Copies of this chain bind each other. A is one copy, B any other.
Amino acid sequence: MAPAKPVTACILIIGNEVLSGRTQDVNLKYLGQNLNAIGIRVAEARIIADDEATIISTLNQCRAAHDYVFTTGGIGPTHDDITSASVAKAFGVELVRHPDALALLMRHYRPDDVNEARLKMADVPAGASLITNPVSSAPGFRMGNVFVMAGVPEIMRAMFDGIKHQLAGGPPIESKSLIARAPEGALALPLGELQKQYPDVDMGSYPFQRLGQPGVSLVLRGTDEGRMGEAMEKLKAIVRGLGIESEDEDRS
């Protein structure tokens, strides 16, 4: 049986502040790990400016190319929060004030604090369904295969946890890693040979220095636990055969 086509996602990080280096993005790492856990591979990520034409064209490319698109950023109350309006234009629909979103905001703010900038956070593309924001009320939304979430990491995580049951992935993408106490160049050739024997297991090699000594983290990723276990045993035998010390690494 041929393996099923992998389910893929694109992450779209929207915000000038990430491109200028003001803000360190941490959402991609969270989404990468949590999508892998439900069998969705992040095939690409793009970081783009708060610019309507750019958001529209990038979103339309990415939603056609991937099963899912997850956006972060640009759904707050200020003038530079243009994600919702841009997504509506990308889908060719009106931006409408969602009654449930409006009700959520009216409950969240004291009457004196309600203003038009805040109510803008109830505007979503016509036909969108809301994504709950348990942190600060203003919701995200889903439109087709596009999930529009906040950029603030705490809110993005809470939103993602609320929608992940809607996602249809393949088998979980597992990883196993081994730390070898050697520079990666010492292992590169046999690792490349092993990769050829296991084309269904993705093998990565990530060098580091610790206390002045070179090391390398060898990471196997795939969906078939049996094949991954087999490949890891062979990898350990290779490392042992070269007289290199190693240990299992307990991170993904």
A115 at interface by CB-CB < 8 Å: yes
Number of copies: 2
> Do most interface residues of chain A lie in helix, strand or loop, or is the interface mixed?
mixed
Interchain CB contact under 8 A, A219 and B33: no
A238 at interface by CB-CB < 8 Å: no
A207 at interface by CB-CB < 8 Å: yes
Q: Could you tell me the distance in whole angstroms from the C-beta of A178 to the nearest C-beta in chain B?
A: 13
A226 at interface by CB-CB < 8 Å: no
A18 at interface by CB-CB < 8 Å: yes
A22 at interface by CB-CB < 8 Å: yes
How far, in whole Å, are A80 and B41 apart by their CA atoms in the complex?
18
Give the residues from 22 to 41 in chain A that come closer than 8 angstroms, CB to CB, to chain B.
22-26, 28-34, 36, 41
A46 at interface by CB-CB < 8 Å: yes
A95 at interface by CB-CB < 8 Å: no
Interchain CB contact under 8 A, A189 and B36: no
A230 at interface by CB-CB < 8 Å: no
A21 at interface by CB-CB < 8 Å: yes
Known contacts A76-B205, A192-B117; A44/B33 CB under 8 A: no
- Which residues on B sit within 8 Å (CB–CB) of A22? 32-33, 175, 204, 206, 219, 251-252
* Residue of A46, A79, A186, A252 most packed against chain B (CB within 10 A): A79
How far, in whole Å, are A36 and B204 apart by their CA atoms in the complex?
33
Closest 7 CB pairs of A and B: A21-B32, A117-B188, A79-B192, A21-B33, A45-B47, A78-B205, A77-B188
